[in-house]
Amino acid sequence: MRKIILVRHGQTNSNIAGTTQGHTDTSLNETGIVQAQKTGEYIRKNYDISESWSSDLTRCQMTINQITKKYKTTKLLREMSFGNWENKKFQVLKKQFPELTKKFVQGSEKFKAPQGESFQDMADRSIRFISKLNDEDNQGDYLIVTHGGLLRILIISFLNMPMKNSVNFYFDNCSITEIAYNISNNSLLTKLNDTQHLQ
């Protein structure tokens, strides 16, 4: 089985502030750059990467550039679009939209931010992306650098889990998650949210 190495982007100032980012194009801060450098060193030493993918947003491209210079970008790997909620502090949104933010935290299929995406929209994107990986002739490991919310959806998509289980996963900045994968969808979660390389 091939390995799929999933990496969340490095830290941004919005992460620290508790501000939603979504499709907003933010950059890594100094800590995030150091995290990405350490992640790159670890991955190059421990994996045989044959194909690399990144969200097209800057924070992910800045991260993957510290790992490899050979990668493809796609909008399919973007974070959830929060529409009118972008660049807002989540604590403020909780006060303004208590019921809707509750649905978000619960991973409800009924959640959709105003002018934004639903969890099903993200799942559809993730499935379209995974279909690009079904190449039995390609050897080596896949590297995917993306966002925390999209990582949750990718995990349940690879493991054929219900949508509601996405809320049971959390990913730190520049954490490494590993899946043993084959084309028959018999996927195994072999490492989750590992940050030892950042110590």
Domains parsed from the chain with CATH numbers: 2-198 (3.40.50.1240)
Alpha carbon 120 to its chain centroid, in Å, reads 15
Query: Does the pLDDT at position 71 exceed 90?
Result: yes
193 C-beta neighbours (distance < 10 Å), count:
14
Task: Give Cβ neighbours of residue 37 (< 8 Å, ≥ 6 apart).
Answer: 66
Q: Tell me the residue type at 196.
A: Q
Which residues, including other chains, have CB under 8 Å from residue 115's CB and lie 6 or more apart?
83, 84
| pTM attached to this predicted model | 0.93
Three-state DSSP class for residue 145: strand
User: How confident is the model at residue 172, as a pLDDT?
Assistant: 98
Query: What pLDDT, on a 0 to 100 scale, did the predictor assign at position 23?
Result: 96
Average pLDDT over residues 42-64: 96
128-170 pLDDT, tens digit per residue, is 999 888 655 567 899 999 999 999 999 999 898 988 899 999 9
> Where do runs of H (alpha helix) occur along 160-195?
none
138 compared with 198, residue with greater pLDDT? 198
The stretch 75-102 carries a mean pLDDT of: 94
CB 4 within 8 A of CB 181: yes
CB-based burial label for 189 (10 Å; 0-12, 13-18, 19+): middle
